[in-house]
Amino acid sequence: MERNHQPADTTGKEEIMKYEAEAQSPNSSLYHILHYINGECSQSDSNEWLDNYEPATGKVYSLITKGIKSDVERAYQAARNAFPLWSALSAEERSDYLIRIADGIERRFEEFAIAESKDQGKPVWLAKAMDIPRAISNFRFFATEILHTSTPTYVTDSPKALNYTLRSPLGVVGCISPWNLPLYLFSWKIAPALAVGNTVVAKPSEITPMTSALLAEVCIEVGLPAGVLNILHGTGQDIGANIVEHTGIKAISFTGSTRTGEYIARTAAPMFKKLSLELGGKNPVIVFEDCDIEKALTTSVRSAFLNQGEICLCGSRMFIQRSIYEQFTKDFVQRVKTLTIGDPSDDSSFIGALASKEHFDKVLNHIRIAQDEGGTILCGGTAIQPEGRCSEGWFIAPTVIEGLDSSCTTNQEEIFGPVVTLIPFDTEEEALQMANSTTYGLAAVLWTENLTRAHRVSAQIESGIVWVNCWLLRDLRTPFGGVKNSGVGREGGTEALRFFTEPKNVCIKLD
């Protein structure tokens, strides 16, 4: 996709910025991704640029303004100045702005989907089916949810009093998101934060900044007041850490790796910031002999390999009851071998490219570790070089491994790529023990037709989400998050509105 235009700027500075950017950047013919601060697109004070790669070709296709601490300060000041006006709007007025943003994305649906695919490596059809519709839903969901909230009231007996809870926005909040579901997760944080009256300093991953740059254009198009949302680009060290460390930013909603989450917790806790941390996973899929095998097979192929396995909710460890293990494995591998890998712009590609060269190398290294640990590769296990324009892209064949103990590195560490391991089990207790044996606890999938077993195992599994006979079936009203090293706090529905507000108890004596 050719993108030679600059972000729209209603202030008329567009041309000036374009020329400044061209003069100072190493490759002036590429699209330049700029910050969105105080309602305008602007370059970083650093005057430096980061390369932005297209994973499918391995080539630089745009440049990202390389944000630094002073940009965070500019964004913070803009957000702070916008807070009194934005927080004083009625819920209907804020809702109206969010709906307009959703409509604005929808109007440019095709452009957003193509951009997400080019930037992330996922197939365009998937961006159209999942990422962009969900980003639109995120804005619409929270825009309408704030119109239907209620507050608990308690009537105290003696002495008589009425207690009720007021909920106020926090002020300026920080939202930091990863590269796997770029706009989907970015909007999942921004929408509730804005809906309840906060102003936001947000950072997408430097690996996938493009759709957040398009979102900035939409915000300008729909007239979102200046400073309400500020989007900064740059590395985790330069921008992310400075958002986390900023004393004026009252809360951090973060989705990303457990390692970064640990840094954020350590840094933000002494400042008493509110924290929501959505972190890594090593999700188990337990297939009992009494399941609907056809459904389990079909869905498990998707739960292992959709989005190149780069969904935090993907099932990466499959525990299969021994009585069906052999046949299930044979059928599973046969289906995986039919998955098509290739150009993400081709609708016949089920699997696209991995998001970055670094991640591609990491996943290949994990496959080598699995072999060193004695694993048998049943299919995949190698990089793929499609013919034509994608020959230098970062593609890895969907990989199925068996023969590994549940305690080995491969079955304990998050790989976050198109790699799944298969492990037989005999009893429910054994399956549970192995499923719970990692430091993670994000999502789990159970396949069984036995309702009693489904309830029993769901209650015992250490996980924030359990899907029974399905996967990735999401209802935006439900609490979303992980246990153990998969995170702290919950997003989604009223949980998100609670996170982004502070409750205040008001007690009125009645007699």
Name residue, tokens 């986390």.
Answer: 244
Contacts of 385 (CB under 8 A, 6+ apart): 391, 392, 393, 395
Give the x-and-dash track for 312-341 against ligand NAD (CB under 6 A): x-----------------------------
Q: Which amino acid is located at 372 in the chain?
A: D
Euclidean distance between CA atoms 234 and 50, whole angstroms: 8
Euclidean distance between CA atoms 406 and 446, whole angstroms: 17
β-strand pairing of 383-384 with 395-396: antiparallel
> Which region, judged by CB under 6 A, interacts with ligand NAD, from 176-184, 284-292, 331-339, 388-396?
176-184
Nearest approach, Cβ of residue 397 and ligand NAD (Å): 21
Catalytic residue among 312, 314, 414, 462: 312
Q: Is 278 a catalytic residue?
A: yes
Nearest approach, Cβ of residue 291 and ligand NAD (Å): 26
Measured CA to CA in angstroms, residue 259 lies from 355, 358, 405 at distances of 19, 16, 25
Is position 441 an interface residue for ligand NAD (rule: CB under 6 A)?
no
**Number of shown-chain residues binding ligand NAD (CB under 6 A):** 32
Contacts of 426 (CB under 8 A, 6+ apart): 321, 322
> Which region, judged by CB under 6 A, interacts with ligand NAD, from 41-49, 123-131, 275-283, 380-388?
275-283
Q: Is 314 a catalytic residue?
A: no
Contacts of 315 (CB under 8 A, 6+ apart): 283, 284, 285, 300, 303, 304, 420, 443, 445, 471
Nearest approach, Cβ of residue 486 and ligand NAD (Å): 6
Is position 446 an interface residue for ligand NAD (rule: CB under 6 A)?
no
Is position 238 an interface residue for ligand NAD (rule: CB under 6 A)?
no
Name residue, tokens 């009494």.
Answer: 290
Structure-token pair, residue 256: 């990303």
Q: How many CB atoms lie within 10 A of CB 147?
A: 12
Q: How many CB atoms lie within 10 A of CB 334?
A: 11
Question: Number of H helices and number of E strands within the chain?
Answer: 17, 23
Is position 257 an interface residue for ligand NAD (rule: CB under 6 A)?
yes
Selected from 194, 210, 222, 442, the binder of ligand NAD by CB under 6 A is: 442
Residues 378-417 that bind ligand NAD (CB under 6 A): 414, 416
Euclidean distance between CA atoms 246 and 174, whole angstroms: 9
Nearest approach, Cβ of residue 445 and ligand NAD (Å): 16
Residues 177-206 that bind ligand NAD (CB under 6 A): 177-180, 185, 203, 205-206
Is position 284 an interface residue for ligand NAD (rule: CB under 6 A)?
no
Nearest approach, Cβ of residue 312 and ligand NAD (Å): 3
> Which region, judged by CB under 6 A, interacts with ligand NAD, from 225-233, 259-267, 387-395, 499-507?
259-267
Tell me if 294 sits within 8 A of 276, measured CB to CB: no
Catalytic residue among 145, 206, 278, 462: 278
Euclidean distance between CA atoms 135 and 210, whole angstroms: 14
Is position 233 an interface residue for ligand NAD (rule: CB under 6 A)?
no
Residues 471-490 that bind ligand NAD (CB under 6 A): 482, 486-487
Q: How many CB atoms lie within 10 A of CB 58?
A: 17
> Which region, judged by CB under 6 A, interacts with ligand NAD, from 22-30, 39-47, 140-148, 230-238?
230-238
Nearest approach, Cβ of residue 481 and ligand NAD (Å): 7
Kindly tell me which of 222 and 488 has the beta carbon lying closer to ligand NAD: 488
> Which region, judged by CB under 6 A, interacts with ligand NAD, from 62-70, 140-148, 272-280, 398-406?
272-280
Compute the residue count for the chain: 511
Is position 279 an interface residue for ligand NAD (rule: CB under 6 A)?
yes
Kindly tell me which of 94 and 359 has the beta carbon lying closer to ligand NAD: 359
Give the x-and-dash track for 73-112 against ligand NAD (CB under 6 A): ----------------------------------------
What is the layout of strands, in order, in the sheet containing 465-468? 376-379, 399-402, 419-425, 315-321, 283-287, 443-447, 465-468
Q: Tell me, what DSSP letter sits at residue 236?
A: I
| Residue numbers at the binding site for ligand NAD (CB under 6 A) | 176-180, 185, 203, 205-206, 235-237, 240-241, 244, 255-257, 260, 263-264, 278-281, 312, 414, 416, 442, 482, 486-487
Give the catalytic positions in this structure.
278, 312
